[in-house]
Chains A and B, each alone.
Chain A
């Protein structure tokens, strides 16, 4: 970062006076450099790999899963009923060949664990990305405004953030979801309602440090309109920070959703990993069906960790923390 500073100064003052659109090339070449560095980071590769697998599952679960979601051990997808002996043998550990084939075993209802796992990917990804996007859409602009304008705008926004920081997150979401209903949309809204705070604070800090730099000052002195100034000189440096926050928010949201599902506060009719764990507990098989207990937990941890890895690799290559 430091070795770039003098260049930035001179170039920025040039184009503030109407010369070549340097920041665009600066931003894009930096993006390219960051991307090549990113691809050399083992953490980023690992994160991307996990994310790719989960995305495949989310996009085309029917191609990945061994069965469709309606499949039940012993009877398959038909209308057949389980005999008493058969239903007593459920949940069933992994078994190959006859009478059925469920690679990771079955749940107490006879569904394949792997099948449920694959079909749950979509919810996890959706919750993570939706909550992250939403909290970025609120937090980043407010943080930008707060850092750029300063004064009473900053004071106002930061006091609100200060106050909201005191609201305990999970209890708040519990209350919110309980009162508004446990749909996935509500869960996402509830998560985003608290997650934007951190984005706002961090983006404000970055913006503040940028505004203090000479090239922004020069551009301002040259009379560049505010929106162009922000778009050209502030946003390119804020975006990497925002990207890091985005993946971190996604991770937090997925974990929060799983936790809510465990507490019985998520929509149990849509397939999700949290709901799987909740059913393990509800049917009383936490300690005797490891083939059922372990995969959803590992899936959650892997996806969340993948987002963390990406976030850390991103912050390493863009030198933000």
Chain B
């Protein structure tokens, strides 16, 4: 079992590393495949020839391609992401400041979606032939079909403009310097977190629901549910403890998809709410043609996704006792 565990973990690690290599290569190729030199995209008309030459030298565009590629790989794996021309700061420093903010939003949204979504999916899957079942499914799918940013606008309109309950921009209020105490700042942060979180979660929970629902149908037809009923267990116990628990398994395997959805949602939501995180950074960096920053930000998001998937893989093996780290995987 331990050997399986090790081999499985090792395989996942290799895949994770390969993913990051591919992402790096992709970034390298994309930048070089741009029409014209990518350096010329960063130059401004006012620059002198010497300045342009310095920029070109700094990027090493005159070196052979393979050398540029190797240097790129090496730099990225040692955390050397270069200098951001628009932020006038090392890219690594910018990222280090931005990443935690996104992780907070991501993490909270992930938890919110996965607290609600699977439960709804269990109920929908259990009562799929009931009268209200189709209607509930239709409504969930409609919610899932709405653009996140549009939902965010509607929520802002309702909760900020109409009711004035929650702030709708930035991460914290600018406090006067003498008024900074930990508790008010934390509360203020939470209040600012609420709307972006709500926006992502308002749409995101359906993803988990849609994964659980079909699994629940299979569970409802299963022999263990039949036995659980024969044991005289209450319907609620049969639903959540037996059918539900088993229907959760496919969710963890496909949670990678949901994760992707959340990344997308975070990119958009951060833009809507001026949340100073990674997603917004990618968009602004791309629009400002700050390529070193855009590349590195993208790379970092990929790292986060890959690490989270690794974690989910491990979680799956704990959830399903039949499967000890891929031991009986089929």
Contact = CB atoms under 8 A, between A and B. Distances in A.
Interface of A: 42-43, 46, 159, 162-172, 174-176, 178-180, 198, 251, 255-256, 258-259, 262-265, 274, 277, 286-287, 293, 296-297, 300-305, 308-309, 312, 321
B309 interface: yes
A259 B264 CA distance: 9
Given A164-B22, A167-B23, A301-B147, 13 more contacts: A43-B138, A159-B18, A167-B26, A169-B264, A171-B267, A171-B279, A171-B297, A172-B298, A179-B30, A256-B264, A259-B149, A286-B153, A309-B141
**Cβ-closest 5 pairs across A and B:** A166-B19, A304-B145, A321-B214, A170-B264, A305-B145
* Most chain A beta-carbon contacts within 10 A, residue among B147, B148, B268: B147
B271 interface: yes
Contacts of A265: 286
Contacts of B20: 166
Contacts of B295: 175
14 contacts: A163-B15, A163-B22, A166-B15, A166-B20, A166-B23, A167-B26, A171-B279, A175-B294, A198-B257, A256-B264, A286-B157, A287-B157, A293-B153, A301-B142
Contact of B271 (A162, A263, A287, A301): A263
Interface string B278-292: 010011001100000
A175 B282 contact: yes
A262 B142 contact: no
Contacts of B297: 171
A172 B294 CA distance: 10
A265 B285 CA distance: 13
Contacts of B157: 286-287
B156 interface: yes
B243 interface: no
B146 interface: yes
A260 to B, nearest CB: 10
Nearest to A208: B330
Contact of A167 (B19, B137, B294): B19
Nearest to B308: A166
Chain A binding surface SS class? helix
Interface of B: 15-16, 18-20, 22-23, 26-27, 30-31, 33-34, 134, 137-138, 141-142, 144-150, 153-154, 156-157, 161, 214, 256-257, 260, 263-264, 267-268, 271, 279, 282-283, 286-287, 294-295, 297-298, 301-302, 305-306, 309
Given A167-B23, A262-B268, A305-B142, A287 B286 contact: no
Given A163-B18, A165-B256, A167-B19, A312 B286 contact: no
Contacts of B22: 163-164, 166-167
Given A159-B18, A169-B260, A309 B214 contact: no
Given A259-B149, A263-B268, A300-B147, A159 B141 contact: no
B22 to A, nearest CB: 5
A174 B145 contact: no
A170 B267 contact: yes
A240 to B, nearest CB: 15
A175 B147 contact: no
Contacts of A264: 287
Given A171-B301, A179-B31, A305-B142, A159 B15 contact: yes
A243 B51 CA distance: 56
A168 B301 contact: yes
A101 B154 CA distance: 27
Given A159-B15, A168-B298, A300 B282 contact: no
Contacts of B257: 198
A162 B305 CA distance: 13
B267 A258 contact: no
Given A258-B147, A301-B146, A301-B147, A168 B268 contact: no
A255 B138 contact: no
Nearest to A320: B214
A162 B15 contact: yes
A255 to B, nearest CB: 6
Nearest to B287: A264
A300 B145 contact: yes
A259 B298 contact: no
